[in-house]
Amino acid sequence: MPPEPAARGSVATSTATPAPVGRDDVLGLLRGVVDPELGSDVVDLGMIRDVEIGKGGHIGVTVALTIAGCPLKAQLDNDIHARLLGHPGVTGIDISWTEMTDEERSACMARARWNATQRAGTTTIPPTTRVLAIASGKGGVGKSSVTANLAVGLAADGFAVGVLDADIGGFSQPRMLGVEGRLEGANDEKKMVPHRRDFGSGFVEVVSMGFLVDDEQSALTWRGQTLNRAVQHFLEDVRWSDDLDYLLIDMPPGTGDIQMGLARMLPRTEVLLVTTPALAAQKVAARAADLARKTYLRVVGVIENMTSFTCDHGTSYALFGEGGGETLAHDIGAPLLGAIPLEPSVVLGGDIGTPAVLGDGAAAEAFRALVRTIATEAAPPVDMAGCSARLLDKVEAALGPTP
Ligand SMILES: Nc1ncnc2c1ncn2[C@@H]1O[C@H](COP(=O)(O)OP(=O)(O)OP(=O)(O)O)[C@@H](O)[C@H]1O
Ligand SMILES: [Mg+2]
């Protein structure tokens, strides 16, 4: 069984009175919960039979499982708690579990099957992949560095990791991950095949605008909806590995179009917020958290970057102030997942395409600790161990080929 999500029970610490939660909010949040076997969200699949809004933000949800002993019940239970409790207006949850009627079950299967056959307009991200967007609101706080180090750290621990560089105009992943060359559509489906680099027993697959344009200037002129179309292209037209454990999305600075687009295209996205200890960065990051919540994306936690600098003599200097990460985490009711010190190895690693996490020193240690926290507590990979076979495959086999 996957460990308890860290957000559980640790919410509603904000000093401001949260807005009351409505039925639409609950359904919006539940659209982020995907049944990993059926590949669609629980609202779409008709699994949410009832929602009750109780006094003081206490929510009752009745969930109808396809079969009573569904091995994914624990996973869904965790996900529903994490999604709903991540909303500041939700104070508690009661889930009643029930089983679908035969009629409901066939409607659910028909829906799942239809979704699976509708290639256009759906993402190519496997339903068992955990999607984490690394965002901050403010530029230059280390989103891209955190993304590259997390990706490589997770891969070195044996995970299959995708990196989607959503910073179309200011891409940095090709350089930071040490990957270059044009992306080609190299298989029968004419999907783009990401570049891949092996680390330890895992690997990192990466797509970036840097692999599609000749120079940075030509991407810089893209704006608004065009930017969103580029991200959509990466979500729909890339042949990601079927066994991808994580997809990390390196977000551009700001809280604009891309985050809104992502919430629409991939509502199961969860957000890791990066901030520096400075008050200004923390305030802007709080706005990013706000937008995440408005678009029903769960904030997994906060990462404080550039925490302090320790000189060769061992003295630490809090160059950008102190406590920003902790204050932000407290204000938005999400855990502080890690603090990365300011260290030249991070800059150097990014410049030579060998992320600091692979080396020695305090920053490498801090990144490795962050990787462990994410993989074991805050956002563990989707657990499919309890399933003997994919239900949808069985349904597909029973129903025969699509006409
Ligand atoms: N912990 C750290 N120690 C030292 N330098 C760092 C650290 N984290 C990031 N940097 C450096 O700070 C600069 C900005 O980092 P990065 O590009 O990762 O930020 P970003 O938030 O992605 O920026 P943008 O908003 O422009 O995309 C880079 O030069 C990077 O090498
Ligand atoms: Mg960046």
Work out the pLDDT band at 2, boundaries 50, 70, 90. Answer: very low
Evaluate: CB of 307 within 6 angstroms of ligand 1: no
Q: How far is the CA of 136 from the centre of ligand 2 (A)?
A: 10
pLDDT for the residue numbered 7: 37
Question: What is the rounded average pLDDT for all residues in the chain?
Answer: 83
Q: How far is the CA of 146 from the centre of ligand 1 (A)?
A: 8
Evaluate: CB of 285 within 6 angstroms of ligand 1: no
pTM: 0.79
Q: Say which amino acid occupies 253.
A: P
Are β-strands 92-99 and 58-65 bridged in parallel, bridged antiparallel, or unpaired? parallel
What domains are defined for the chain? 23-121+384-399 (3.30.300.130), 130-378 (3.40.50.300)
**What ligand 1 atom has the least distance to the C-alpha of 342?**
3
The residue whose two tokens read 């076979």 is 389
Distance CA 52, CA 60 (A): 5
Question: Which residues are bridge partners to 197 per DSSP?
Answer: 204
Evaluate: CB of 9 within 6 angstroms of ligand 1: no
Q: What is the pLDDT of residues 112-127, one digit of tens each?
A: 777 766 644 577 888 8
Q: Are 167 and 212 in contact (CB under 8 A)?
A: no
DSSP string, 363-388: HHHHHHHHHHHIIIIISPPP--TT-S
Give the number of whichever ligand sits closest to the CA of residue 148: 1
Q: What is the pLDDT of residues 42-81, one digit of tens each?
A: 999 999 999 999 989 999 999 999 887 777 888 899 999 9
Q: What is the pLDDT of residues 217-248, one digit of tens each?
A: 555 555 566 777 888 888 888 999 989 999 99
Evaluate: CB of 141 within 6 angstroms of ligand 1: yes
Evaluate: CB of 165 within 6 angstroms of ligand 1: no
The residue whose two tokens read 């609202």 is 43
**Residue 103 phi, psi (nearest 5):** -65, -45
Give the three-class secondary structure for 283: helix
329 compared with 295, residue with greater pLDDT: 329
357 compared with 19, residue with greater pLDDT: 357
Distance CA 131, CA 272 (A): 10
- Beta strands of 71-226 (E only): which ranges? 92-99, 130-135, 160-165, 195-199, 202-207
Half-sphere exposure of 375 (CA within 13 A, CB side): 20
**What ligand 1 atom has the least distance to the C-alpha of 141?**
21
